[in-house]
């Protein structure tokens, strides 16, 4: 029987389905023990991970039987995909399966931040009643700049245009927008920085995108935008972001991903009550519904592959 190793959490009913067809070893904490994973991996033909398992050279060199890696999520920056390609190991992300969850996060955090809800909340629970001292604006007819116009970027555009936002999209690998459902204008990065009231990042973390939004990017922003990053930490320079906030170049930010995860004190100590920001622990794509979709999708793909 084909042997499958799962090193992070998977939806229970999807696991039960997998157990009917394969010899499955499931240990949702195995990602914490790289040494053990290195010795175990040699026996397995299939591996299923989320984003915490570092599927690096040390593991892959020992993965003598491995033919398939299923990723319960989208970004592949924790997997040495180049090595997998050379060794003909198929790497399967759960493309699109958590796009709705991320899009809902982007629209809800945009609305909260443009309305300055974190600041109103902070003032109110301190008894300040900041009804006229904090000014908020509406989302309707504002410009949303989307950087990275792939599956999630497009889903965010779809959700946002229904809420009255005008969409500008930057993605050098997208030459035209064919989909009639999506009302967006392809733009330069400069135009996005200059015209956007909200900027949302939907890029993979690569050598090209690392540190892409930095001090120079912030210096080009004219509308004091809200910045939202649900893609990967390291794409926005965190220190430049905080400086831009204190210089009033941006008016708020929502971060779901961080340069170092779990978040480190050297960063979160810079976040003070009363700042117009929302910080969350890499959950924008994780909901009950998306967990089921993602897990079922990977179970189907691995079953098809070995059949």
Ligand X SMILES: NC(=O)c1ccc[n+]([C@@H]2O[C@H](COP(=O)([O-])OP(=O)(O)OC[C@H]3O[C@@H](n4cnc5c(N)ncnc54)[C@H](O)[C@@H]3O)[C@@H](O)[C@H]2O)c1
Q: How many Å apart are CA 9 and CA 74, to the nearest integer?
A: 15
What minimum distance in Å lies between the beta carbon of 113 and ligand X? 17
Residue with Cβ nearer ligand X (22 or 149): 149
Residue with Cβ nearer ligand X (169 or 221): 169
The candidate with the shortest Cα–Cα distance to 175, out of 184, 186, 166, 189, is 186
CA 118 to each of CA 59, 142, 254: distance values in angstroms, whole numbers, following the listed order: 43, 20, 11
Which positions touch ligand X (CB under 6 A)?
73-75, 98, 102, 147-153, 170-174, 202-204, 208-209, 230-232, 256-257, 282, 284-286
What minimum distance in Å lies between the beta carbon of 151 and ligand X? 4
CA 177 to each of CA 143, 148, 150, 156: distance values in angstroms, whole numbers, following the listed order: 18, 13, 11, 14
Q: For the chain, what's the residue count?
A: 307
Which token pair is 73? 């999520």
Residues 6 or more apart whose CB falls under 8 angstroms from that of 147 comprise 153, 170, 171, 189, 192, 199, 200, 201, 202, 203, 212, 213
Residue with Cβ nearer ligand X (24 or 212): 212
What minimum distance in Å lies between the beta carbon of 154 and ligand X? 8
Residue with Cβ nearer ligand X (139 or 257): 257
What minimum distance in Å lies between the beta carbon of 93 and ligand X? 8
Residue with Cβ nearer ligand X (18 or 177): 177
What minimum distance in Å lies between the beta carbon of 295 and ligand X? 14
Would residue 86 be called left, alpha or beta, if left means φ above 0 and alpha means ψ between -120 and 50 degrees? alpha
Residue with Cβ nearer ligand X (14 or 209): 209
What minimum distance in Å lies between the beta carbon of 82 and ligand X? 16
- Contact between 269 and 86 under an 8 Å Cβ cutoff? The reply is no
Q: Which residue is nearest to ligand X (CB)?
A: 150
Residue with Cβ nearer ligand X (163 or 206): 206
- SS3 assignment, position 236: strand
What minimum distance in Å lies between the beta carbon of 200 and ligand X? 11
- Estimate to the nearest angstrom the gap between the alpha carbon of 266 and the chain centroid: 22
What minimum distance in Å lies between the beta carbon of 1 and ligand X? 32
Q: Give start and end residues of each alpha helix (H) in 150-251.
A: 151-162, 189-195, 215-219, 238-246
Residue with Cβ nearer ligand X (145 or 148): 148
The sheet carrying 198-201 orders its strands as 184-186, 166-170, 143-147, 198-201, 226-229, 252-255, 277-279
């Amino acid at each position: 029987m084909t042997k499958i190793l799962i090193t992070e959490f998977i939806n229970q009913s999807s696991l039960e389905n997998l157990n009917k067809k394969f010899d499955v070893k499931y240990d949702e904490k195995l990602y914490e023990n790289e040494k053990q994973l290195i010795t175990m991996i040699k026996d397995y033909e299939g591996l299923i991970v989320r984003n915490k398992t570092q599927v690096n050279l040390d593991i892959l060199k020992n993965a003598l039987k491995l033919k398939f890696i299923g990723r319960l999520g989208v970004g592949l920056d924790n997997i040495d995909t180049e090595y997998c390609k050379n060794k003909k190991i198929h790497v399967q992300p759960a493309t699109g399966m958590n796009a709705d969850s991320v899009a809902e996060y982007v629209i809800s955090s945009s609305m909260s931040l443009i309305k300055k809800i974190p600041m109103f909340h902070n003032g109110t629970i301190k008894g300040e009643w900041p009804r006229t001292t904090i000014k908020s604006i509406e989302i309707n007819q504002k410009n949303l700049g989307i950087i990275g116009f792939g599956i999630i970027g497009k889903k965010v555009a779809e959700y946002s245009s229904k809420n009255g936002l005008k969409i500008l999209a930057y993605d050098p690998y997208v030459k035209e927008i064919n989909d009639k459902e999506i009302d967006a204008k392809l733009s330069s990065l400069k135009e996005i920085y200059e015209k956007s009231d909200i900027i949302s990042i939907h890029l993979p973390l690569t050598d090209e995108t690392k540190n892409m939004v930095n001090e120079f990017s912030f210096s080009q922003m004219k509308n004091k935008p809200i910045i939202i990053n649900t893609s990967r930490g390291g794409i926005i320079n965190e220190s430049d972001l905080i400086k831009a906030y204190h210089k009033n170049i941006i008016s708020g930010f929502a971060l779901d991903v961080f340069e170092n995860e779990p978040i480190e004190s050297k960063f979160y100590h810079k976040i003070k009550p009363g700042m117009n920001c929302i910080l969350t622990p890499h959950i924008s794509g994780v909901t009950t519904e998306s967990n089921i979709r993602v897990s079922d999708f990977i179970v189907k793909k691995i079953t098809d592959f070995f059949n």
